[in-house]
Amino acid sequence: MYDFDLFTIGGGSGGVRASRMATQFGAKVALAEERYLGGTCVNLGCIPKKLFVYASEFSDAFADARGFGWTVGERSFNWQTLIANKNREIARLNGVYEKVLVDNGVRILRARATLADAHTVVARGERYTARYILVATGGWPSTPELPGRELAITSNEAFFLPRSPARAIVVGGGYIGVEFAGIFHGLGAKVSLVHRGELFLRGFDNDLRRELAAEMRKREIELRFTRRVERIEKLADGVRATLDDGAVLEADLVMFATGRTPNTRDLGLEQAGVTLDAEGAVAVDSYSRSSVANIYAVGDCTDRLQLTPVAIAEGAAVAETLFGGSPKAPEYENVPTAVFSQPNLGTVGLTEAQARERFRAIDVYKSTFRPLKHTVSGRDERAFMKLVVDRETDRVLGCHMIGADAGEIIQGLAIALRCGATKAQFDATVSVHPTAAEEFVTMRNKS
């Protein structure tokens, strides 16, 4: 009756996972991608950004080496080498995604696809019918309306700059803004971060936000909170940004990291009857089904958690629901996440504020200390850890950390929270010594 059982629009993490799993359940599947396989994460997000973070951390390593007896000689950084090696790795991953799809029998269409109706997709001028359609088109950086906005870049362009900036203005207080402020600083730039809120990283635990701001200021990253850029002007040797308080900042570049918009424009969704919210996100139910019964959506084109592992989980759930005989709704409780700031930030579970709203009484444990490494390196950097506990059941509700490898550490703690671990069980766990992570099982004093 249909050309395909499932037609996926978008070759990012969520779309690829759903398509691959659907074929394993016996479905006939096609996937259309107009840009590059792997989506934002592989090409313009998590992967290249983490590679940039690694590159920027060497400046700290060189500085810290002296305290451990190393003499580090003349050194230099070549931006073009980093870009070339990053591009090579991304190309390899693009090939991995293609192989996964081909090996599982998914038909790949390298083209933009749009909906003609609820069961018909148009790509490369051809019409294809499908029993189910999955929209997995991700998001795209958005920039504020202001004079000179065309002179600024977004994270998309940051991965392909011809040279590393000596002066950078980062506008925005989310993951991307905070991480790129650290990246540019680590690569030698003088950095100003401008954010309209009183603190960056809205939605994270307030102690984490304050502690990270303090650590970034120690690194001489200028933080201008409660400020907006009003206009940008071109200079002979860069750009000038004027803020709403009249302050003027000059730099080699201004980078907007002011949010992402669902990439749903001109896909034909409205004509097919799919309801979009005010931001253009596909409105879905708990099973990722849109207002049209046979059209589903996952990932950043919906208004849920914009994290790659979440999109993958959503895609897997759609495949199981439609073809696996086991309807499954994604779970959004206790999703761990990390911000690859410098130092790193990791978190899982409820913030203190969220816990106070949901539970009658909670206990909070905090620890801040100088990591062993920096007792010798001489770096003025503090690690911070925090546990939020339900007083009535003793269950750990949230784990939060700032410090080296926070993301690696939080992943393990996410398993504990998933299993409903109690503070007593944390306390009874033998620590790995000497590590920073052991602090999570040795905290005894309530704050």
CA-to-CA separations, 148 to 157, 225, 230, 242, 409, in angstroms, rounded: 17, 21, 9, 11, 42
Closest CA to 421 of 443, 447, 393: 393
How far apart, in whole angstroms, are the C-alpha atoms of residue 170 and residue 253? 9
Listed residue (396, 421, 431, 413) closest to 441, CA to CA: 431
Question: What long-range pairs does 261-266 form, CB within 8 A, spacing at least 24?
Answer: 261/139, 261/140, 261/141, 261/142, 262/137, 262/139, 262/300, 262/301, 262/302, 262/303, 263/137, 263/138, 263/139, 263/140, 263/300, 263/301, 264/135, 264/137, 264/301, 266/114
Q: Of 185, 195, 400, 433, which is the active-site residue?
A: 433
Q: What's the CA gap between 384 and 443, in Å, rounded? A: 12
Strands (E), 29-111: 29-32, 107-109
For the chain, what percentages of helix, strand and coil (3-state, to nearest 5) are there? 35, 25, 40
Contact between 423 and 389 (Cβ < 8 Å): yes
Known catalytic residue at 433: yes
Cis peptide before 434 (omega within 30 of 0): yes
CA distances in angstroms from 226 to 2, 195, 247, listed in the order given: 54, 6, 13
Q: Which residues are the active-site residues?
A: 433
